[in-house]
Amino acid sequence: MPSLPNIMPTSAHFWTVLPYLRDRLQPPIPPTGGPWDAQVVSEVGVVPLRGTLHVPPGARDVVVLVHGLGGSASSAYLARAARAASAVGMASLRMSQRGADGDGADLYHAGLGSDLQVVVDHPALAPFERIFLLGYSLGGHIVLRAATGDIDTPRLARVAAICAPLDLARAQAGIDAPSAAIYRKVVLRKLRAAYEVIVARHPTFPGDPEAVRTTTTLRGFDAASVVPRFGFASVADYYERASVGPRLHRLRTPALLVAVRDDPMVPAASIRTWAAEAGDLELKWLTRGGHVHVPAKVDLGWGPPRSLESQVIDWLRAV
């Protein structure tokens, strides 16, 4: 399928759905890399983390790319980001969060920034002088949390997030709204499939498999899986304790958030509320685009319009 023209209808639903279908039919090709793996010791045992590490000759910086809910290291948007990093000689690590690659080892949640500490401390990243984080959607939420103190490394230079929620309760309400039904069904189908593998591997895994199988809302999935697995008192407790919005005044490194005004999955009002009280956060709004998908060329105010990923990579490097 050819690239989508900039004369495409401005509806955020078009910009969310059609690029997703395009990427399914014609996935972008990431730069060639080698396998990367690490381990996290958790309550359910030793949990593997996997990904793909691409290192151009002479690379001194590396960007860790974090996918959103229902994604993995193979997500198309991570491939585009890795290509943008490679174009300027930067290494990239496209990582899968816990269980995202379908191994059934465990699951992740929106506040699990501690896994990124394992990533940045990994020997494969030791040669790099600077480490950057770039996350999409829920992955963006996680990297923003990392920058507020979830990880500790003097080499973390900057972080960036694309279409990331700042308030999990309001984001959940947006995804569970009737207008977002098509997105919710896609995400829940992926989450259910991953959870079924987990339960097959760990029959005593905390949670309610039947409720996971029958729920029609993201809130229901979180209540039946994330809450019991990680010991939250309730869904409300999970959203309140994990949300990065109230923590943004504690940012330890410069952060960038690119948001789309009509994002059908992340309400703009929830972004404005918390961004106004943030610390070192630069917020850029796009008037056209959908959730994690935008026109081929956008204007972030840094020179002529070009790809979103190339501009975000340039912002990360401009320390």
Domains of the chain with CATH codes = 27-166+250-317 (3.40.50.1820)
Name the CA dihedral angle for 286, 290, 294, 298, rounded to a multiple of 10 degrees.
Answer: -10
CA 101 from chain center: how many Å? 14
Tokens of 288: 């056209």
9-24 mean pLDDT: 82
Tokens of 132: 């950057």
Q: Are 96 and 72 contacting, i.e. CB atoms less than 8 angstroms apart?
A: yes
pLDDT above 70 (res 292)? yes
pTM assigned to the model:
0.94
Going by C-alpha positions, the residue among 151, 43, 51, 60 that lies closest to residue 100 is 51
Going by C-alpha positions, the residue among 125, 59, 38, 52 that lies closest to residue 82 is 52
pLDDT at site 15: 87
pLDDT at site 18: 86
Going by C-alpha positions, the residue among 79, 76, 52, 130 that lies closest to residue 316 is 130
Measured distance CA(134)–CA(82) in Å, rounded: 10
Q: Are 128 and 61 contacting, i.e. CB atoms less than 8 angstroms apart?
A: yes
Q: Are 226 and 232 contacting, i.e. CB atoms less than 8 angstroms apart?
A: yes
Phi, psi of 306 (to 5 degrees): -160, -170
Burial 154-183 (b: 16+ CB within 10 A, else e): eebbbbbbbbbbbbbbbbbbbbeeeebeeb
Measured distance CA(55)–CA(276) in Å, rounded: 37
pLDDT at site 10: 52
pLDDT digits (tens, 9 = 90+) for 118-139: 999 999 999 999 999 999 999 9
pLDDT at site 5: 42
pLDDT digits (tens, 9 = 90+) for 47-69: 999 999 999 999 999 999 999 99
Alpha-helical (H) ranges within the chain are 12-25, 76-87, 114-120, 138-145, 168-175, 181-201, 209-214, 218-224, 226-230, 235-242, 268-275, 308-317
